Structure 1
């Protein structure tokens, strides 16, 4: 692989020519990658959570579902989703064409989501939701890993936040789309409106994934529409970011080949072992578990808004503003985090504000303060985009370890989605004492986890300052963990 770049010369790091070349390459990547992955995530969340809007239609009556059976239909998706995340990300780290893999799994879950519109029994709904989880398992951690193959640790928070913006916009669009479908398509061609909701959004997913496949770039070393100089730069700047390029004896050929595809099963197993034995991975796992414990209200958000007492149409429309506010604050927060290079404070304030929202929500049923609480419940998501950027910059080598770590931590992020829907059944409205109470506890513990991670990284940086080697990083090279 290195021979291909023998005739390519890169400007020295920090030079005006190098900065200009990097900015031009990042501009190309941003215009190509970001709109596609945001669109993919919007559709991913629509397909995963449209069952919450369908509940406001005639889903329960048509399938004769009890409240507990409905909660099972919501949560069962995350069982298969969790089980297959690590295998999927290890596979992704071993193949040279993530631009094919990610849209391919999207096509699969789109086909299955469309099929939900034909489900006639509880068993069929459960089975289809399991299959959706199987194919969605490779998407979110896969995209986070994919972004870390293109962007440096200082660039990831803003790009991750733009990606995650898709889920927030999906929350807003979901209410508006559901309003249009449920209010206008009931009985069209003899189908209930909730069935059309799954069919329309599933077909849109399939179409978008087909368009995404030829547009997404692959990896820096084999993206042919970049110039050879840009492709070499895409590889080298990531290695410089984790200080591999400055290690003694690291030749130019070895530098390029270090980021080459790691396909051997032995390397994948070693990557998994390295991830599960790294205490930083365990700390992030526990922290993101609690972050998701608070954020998992996304699967029942229309039910929470419904507790205001409005009719279905007003309820669906009122779900949009909190997600729009969340999208704005999360993007601004992540962009500022990238600009300042700080992670902890940008991550911790969201759970604190959400905690306030849950306390208000559990305390009153008056419409004005309750909707204020609903508006700020979702601010916990500010810890999401910044959190995964913090993870990828803290656990950044080698590629199989990073891929396994992202998948492991994302498992922790999704486990609460399995049991949280059972805390928001219809009989628990409007106070949702169990659900809101558990979310308050999760938010508090997540803040403690962030404090512990920050303390850990401060201690590791002190060791690096003394010239010690930490996680394969030589403190003498100037490498420091971001916190």
Structure 2
């Protein structure tokens, strides 16, 4: 790769495209595996109570409502500190931000092993939300500093493979730890789970500080020509959306499209977190053991990962977001609705949950490529944080509402129908609400 190659971009597009592909493969392999690992641990530490509750609810005498509130209260702290955390990231960079976030959330997650009362449970979950605030939207903002819009969906999909892949580790790990270590050194299996999954976040946070670069200009592993090419492509994005030059943080927060995307995110995340927290209980209710629940949970996770990569890549190639989102959201709704037909049959139920994961994971990935198109770099940090904050409120609502409905009705059927309706509404809002404002991604 040399200066002549980049200079020839206007007259030799195929050569320039090949050079750009190599450049962004290099960037992807440097950044995404590490960010992926961070997101896996993030997802494990915020959702491991979905598995821990299979033991701790009985041992600590927590009702479904207590557990649902404890699961959801995390998002109060998360929502309150989301925007301040992201604004701080824009000033101090991702390295220092991730060191702070991951170190504190890892220690708090491990401290969950000491919870013995609902109050302990609520306080630690709230603090976990405070310390995790800004992680995912911060990384989404970080990706806008490295990837032009036309390559962002695939990069976003690779990042979001973290929470999609986490059940591959979460289920078997939880099953093995909670059964094999139960009673070891006087600790219950659920206590060991919090400890085993909390400490690695602290270690990885330190590694991130030394391995990541805040911007392409700071990256010692890119040469000057590569840095110049990345800067040129990102500036070309700004030129293609000239109004973004004048966009400020305040105007982004006044932009109705930002609030609409936040509500759409809320509707999708209802399904994401309802399944994260209650799927283990649902599967156990079908007669599976804790260990079987862990391994059955791998099937929807694998389906979601494959769909994110394939559909995210297709969305990039087509330069289209709205219909990709709407169709996959409806597929997710169909999968959740069909699950209600097999509440006593694990194999077909898991197949339906896999269909739901295909739709929800893909829709969630594509959704997060849209803010980078609508917002300038100056406004992106606050805008993405606002969208994430609104969407994150679903993390409070979903576990609590599903838990309350389960307590009232004795099952998950009504909840699955409500979550399906939310996904269909999200699809309609994306098609109609952004119809006049969308631009090719």
**TM-score w.r.t. length of structure 2:** 0.91
- Give the structure 2 partner of residue 81 of structure 1: 78
Supply the distance in 1 between the matched residues of 2:378 and 2:293 (Cα, whole angstroms): 45
Match of 1:423 among 396, 401, 405: 401
Supply the distance in 1 between the matched residues of 2:384 and 2:296 (Cα, whole angstroms): 34
More helix by share: 2
Q: Taking structure 1 as reference, are residues 13 and 274 closer, same or farther at Cα in structure 2, changes over 3 Å only?
A: farther
Supply the distance in 1 between the matched residues of 2:344 and 2:334 (Cα, whole angstroms): 16
Question: Which deviates more, 223-232 or 126-135?
Answer: 223-232
1:68 matched to 2:48 = no
Count of residue pairs brought into register by the alignment: 431
Supply the distance in 1 between the matched residues of 2:163 and 2:371 (Cα, whole angstroms): 19
Equivalent residue of 2:210, what SS? coil
Q: Taking structure 1 as reference, are residues 457 and 201 closer, same or farther at Cα in structure 2, changes over 3 Å only?
A: same
- Give the structure 2 partner of residue 283 of structure 1: 260
- Give the structure 1 partner of residue 372 of structure 2: 392
Equivalent residue of 1:455, what SS? coil
Match of 1:55 among 50, 53, 56: 53
Counting only pairs closer than 5 Å after superposition, residues 328-407 of structure 1 correspond to structure 2 as: 328-367=306-345, 368-378=347-357, 379-395=359-375, 397=376, 399-407=377-385
Supply the distance in 2 between the matched residues of 1:308 and 1:30 (Cα, whole angstroms): 41
Q: Taking structure 1 as reference, are residues 365 and 121 closer, same or farther at Cα in structure 2, changes over 3 Å only?
A: closer
- Give the structure 1 partner of residue 437 of structure 2: 457
Equivalent pair of 1:10/1:18 in contact (CA under 8 Å)? yes
Supply the distance in 1 between the matched residues of 2:219 and 2:436 (Cα, whole angstroms): 38
Supply the distance in 2 between the matched residues of 1:304 and 1:350 (Cα, whole angstroms): 23
Question: Which deviates more, 413-422 or 238-247?
Answer: 238-247
Supply the distance in 2 between the matched residues of 1:201 and 1:431 (Cα, whole angstroms): 30
- Give the structure 2 partner of residue 180 of structure 1: 176
- Give the structure 1 partner of residue 423 of structure 2: 443
Counting only pairs closer than 5 Å after superposition, residues 209-288 of structure 1 correspond to structure 2 as: 209-243=205-239, 271-288=248-265
Supply the distance in 2 between the matched residues of 1:167 and 1:196 (Cα, whole angstroms): 21
Match of 1:195 among 191, 195, 204: 191
Deviations 1:72-96 (A, max 9, x none): 110010111111111111121223x
Equivalent pair of 2:106/2:199 in contact (CA under 8 Å)? yes
Deviations 1:233-287 (A, max 9, x none): 222220112217999xxxxxxxxxx9xxxxxxxx9xx843211211221221222
Supply the distance in 1 between the matched residues of 2:430 and 2:360 (Cα, whole angstroms): 13
Supply the distance in 2 between the matched residues of 1:451 and 1:53 (Cα, whole angstroms): 36
Equivalent pair of 1:284/1:453 in contact (CA under 8 Å)? no
Supply the distance in 1 between the matched residues of 2:334 and 2:22 (Cα, whole angstroms): 43
The higher radius of gyration belongs to 1
Supply the distance in 2 between the matched residues of 1:12 and 1:390 (Cα, whole angstroms): 30
How far 1:222 moved relative to its partner? Answer: 2.3
1:148 matched to 2:144 = yes
Equivalent residue of 1:226, what SS? coil
How far 1:389 moved relative to its partner? Answer: 0.8
Q: Taking structure 1 as reference, are residues 99 and 10 closer, same or farther at Cα in structure 2, changes over 3 Å only?
A: farther
Supply the distance in 1 between the matched residues of 2:342 and 2:166 (Cα, whole angstroms): 28
Q: Taking structure 1 as reference, are residues 381 and 429 closer, same or farther at Cα in structure 2, changes over 3 Å only?
A: farther
Equivalent pair of 1:308/1:430 in contact (CA under 8 Å)? no
How far 1:23 moved relative to its partner? Answer: 3.4
Equivalent pair of 1:105/1:139 in contact (CA under 8 Å)? yes
Q: Taking structure 1 as reference, are residues 19 and 355 closer, same or farther at Cα in structure 2, changes over 3 Å only?
A: closer
CA RMSD of aligned residues (A): 2.5
How far 1:364 moved relative to its partner? Answer: 4.5
How far 1:359 moved relative to its partner? Answer: 2.1
Equivalent pair of 2:6/2:229 in contact (CA under 8 Å)? yes
Structure 2 runs not aligned, ≥5 long: none
Equivalent residue of 1:218, what SS? coil
How far 1:414 moved relative to its partner? Answer: 1.5
Deviations 1:198-243 (A, max 9, x none): 1011111112222222111211222233222222322222011221
**TM-score w.r.t. length of structure 1:** 0.83
Structure 1 runs not aligned, ≥5 long: 1-6, 248-257, 259-266, 459-480
How far 1:186 moved relative to its partner? Answer: 0.5
Counting only pairs closer than 5 Å after superposition, residues 99-110 of structure 1 correspond to structure 2 as: 99-110=95-106
Match of 1:41 among 18, 39, 42: 39
How far 1:289 moved relative to its partner? Answer: 1.6
Equivalent pair of 1:363/1:431 in contact (CA under 8 Å)? no
How far 1:482 moved relative to its partner? Answer: 1.4
Deviations 1:136-159 (A, max 9, x none): 111000000000110000001001
- Give the structure 2 partner of residue 316 of structure 1: 294
Supply the distance in 2 between the matched residues of 1:353 and 1:246 (Cα, whole angstroms): 35
